[in-house]
Amino acid sequence: MSESSQSTIKEPSLLDALIPIVMLVTMMAAAVILFGDSSSYGPNQIALLLGMGVTAIIGMKNGHTWDSIEKGIIKGISMSLGACLILFAVGSLIGTWMLSGTVPMLIYYGLELLNPSVFYAATCLICAIVAMSIGSSWTTAATIGVALMGVSEGMGVSTAVTAGAVISGAYFGDKISPLSETTNLAPAVAGTNLFEHIRYMMWTTIPSIVLSLLLFLLLGLNESNEVNAQSIEAMKTLLQSEFELGVHLLVPLVVLLVLALRKMPAFPAVSIGALLGALWAILFQTDVVNSMAEDGVSSATAQLIVVWTALFDGVSFSTPSDSLNDLLSRGGMSSMLNTIWLIVCAMSFGAVLDKVGLLNRAVSAILKGAKSAGDMVLRTILTCIGINLVTADQYMAIVMPGRMYKNEFEKRGLDQLNLSRSLEDGGTLTSPLIPWNTCGAYMHGVLAVHPFEYIFYAFFNLISPVLAVIYAFLGIKILRLQPPQVVTKAD
């Protein structure tokens, strides 16, 4: 008998909804305390699966069958498969772009052009421009972001602050770009016009990015006195000695950006970029490729093995500098396996929570007592953050609150633009700050900095939601529905 034909399914209680959420938060905190930075390499996954098990038990207590729960898990995992494919492609791209000299070339230019005192602010601004042009924070972080992380290593400045600047700029550009998926999704769910949504977001995004740039400038001024000019020159000299540098090495990056601008889906675009990087390695970095080849293998076969390995297992350099080796030795599909493991476990937990109705129950409790515009915006943003935490997916954090709160905003005389902006502030921007969220796991895998390290430096992602709540409570730029005009017929 199917679950839909059963009449024994009970509505979950608030206690039912709170048990798995409190359990997950407790176990995640314990994982960080016990395992530190390595908590994302297994402990968090176990916590998520245990939380999923407890949620499933509560669901079966309320009348749901295991078959229906299992189908929910499969559906939840399937939602993340697109992101998993992109992650695999990004891993390959990083590996071949390291081998081809594309990333080393970007690092070299960065060391030559960027001043340490403005480095953080410039990083944020560069990523903002690129993300706004292509509409993707993920592609921006995997390309320009990776190179800027390398520049920060070469300059000896903080990688945590640099990662925060990359994410701040990337998410600002993504948020205001009409090419962005989330920027299109939020107004679609709320029932607003895309360009009106973007214009309305400017009231929170522009002040937030300005404040962020000022904070990055202040942090950069403190760094400028500590950076060793000799270390920068030493890094540039090493890069010149290890690679055949030249502007032609940036062709794979240009091709990828053009493909993104032409709205090619991320997976094929990044895959093309990775394969082009492999070709560029064979054409322009022959000495580097040959140095990694096994002895006793013919030249052509050896080169094929090296670039093939870069695609699935990354590259490993042996230069005189340990710091340069750590910087360049990375990439490959295998480097993303742990991130995908985390995403699958997180999506499984969120799927069961949604399937057995516990998520809806928790959200309905949050709305209770909300009256003013400030109450509605605050609770919407908190709900988005909560769904980001428990479902590990930014799309769920936009769609679910959007559907649940759309009528509630209308009942309180609030324009749906208030809702669509809140969905972006709470759903899109907080996703990379959560280690087990698909976005947080992605940024960790690409930038090699844990979200708990960069969370306090992702200024834009922190300031914008807070500013949105302040605006709402002060009544600044809160749009209200106009009462319908009563037309009377003239006598």
Following DSSP, what letter does each residue of 41-79 receive, concatenated? TTHHHHHHHHHHHHHHHHHHHTT--HHHHHHHHHHHHHH
- Is a pLDDT exceeding 90 seen at residue 373? no
Average pLDDT over residues 168-191: 87
Alpha-helical (H) ranges within 114-158 are 119-134, 137-140, 146-155
Share of the chain above pLDDT 90, in %: 40
Residue 477 φ/ψ region, left for φ over 0, alpha for ψ in the -120 to 50 degree band, beta for the rest: left
Say which range, 209-218, 221-230, 238-247, has the weakest mean pLDDT. 221-230
Q: Which is higher by pLDDT, 248 or 136?
A: 248
Average pLDDT over residues 466-477: 92
| pLDDT at position 134 | 78
- Is a pLDDT exceeding 90 seen at residue 64? yes
DSSP-based three-state secondary structure for 465: helix
| pLDDT at position 3 | 53
Which range has highest mean pLDDT (201-210, 320-329, 386-395)? 201-210
| pLDDT at position 486 | 43
Q: Does residue 280 contact residue 249 with C-beta atoms inside 8 Å?
A: yes
| pLDDT at position 225 | 55
Average pLDDT over residues 397-421: 85
| pLDDT at position 485 | 46
Report pLDDT digits (tens) over 261-303.
887 888 898 899 999 999 999 999 998 998 888 765 568 888 8
For residue 325, the cross-strand partners are none
What would the two tokens of residue 241 be? Answer: 């000695």
Say which range, 8-12, 340-344, 404-408, 464-468, has the weakest mean pLDDT. 404-408
| pLDDT at position 250 | 92
CB atoms within 10 A of CB 72: 21
Q: Which is higher by pLDDT, 130 or 168?
A: 168
For residue 414, the cross-strand partners are 480
- Is a pLDDT exceeding 50 seen at residue 487? no
Which of 3, 69, 25 lies closest to 351, judged by CA? 69
pLDDT tier at 7, thresholds 50, 70, 90: low
**DSSP secondary structure string, 236-257?**
HHHHHHHS---GGGGHHHHHHH
Say which range, 164-168, 185-189, 354-358, 454-458, has the weakest mean pLDDT. 185-189
| pLDDT at position 329 | 87
Q: Does residue 160 contact residue 453 with C-beta atoms inside 8 Å?
A: yes
Helix H or strand E encompassing 23:
helix 14-35
pLDDT tier at 491, thresholds 50, 70, 90: very low
Cα 392 from Cα 437, distance rounded (Å): 4
- Is a pLDDT exceeding 70 seen at residue 389? yes
- Is a pLDDT exceeding 50 seen at residue 246? yes
Alpha-helical (H) ranges within 143-228 are 146-155, 159-176, 181-190, 194-224
pLDDT tier at 1, thresholds 50, 70, 90: very low
Average pLDDT over residues 140-165: 90
Reported as half-sphere exposure (CB side, CA atoms, 13 A), residue 279 has a value of 10
| pLDDT at position 372 | 82
Cα 122 from Cα 224, distance rounded (Å): 14
DSSP-based three-state secondary structure for 480: strand
Across the chain, mean pLDDT equals 86
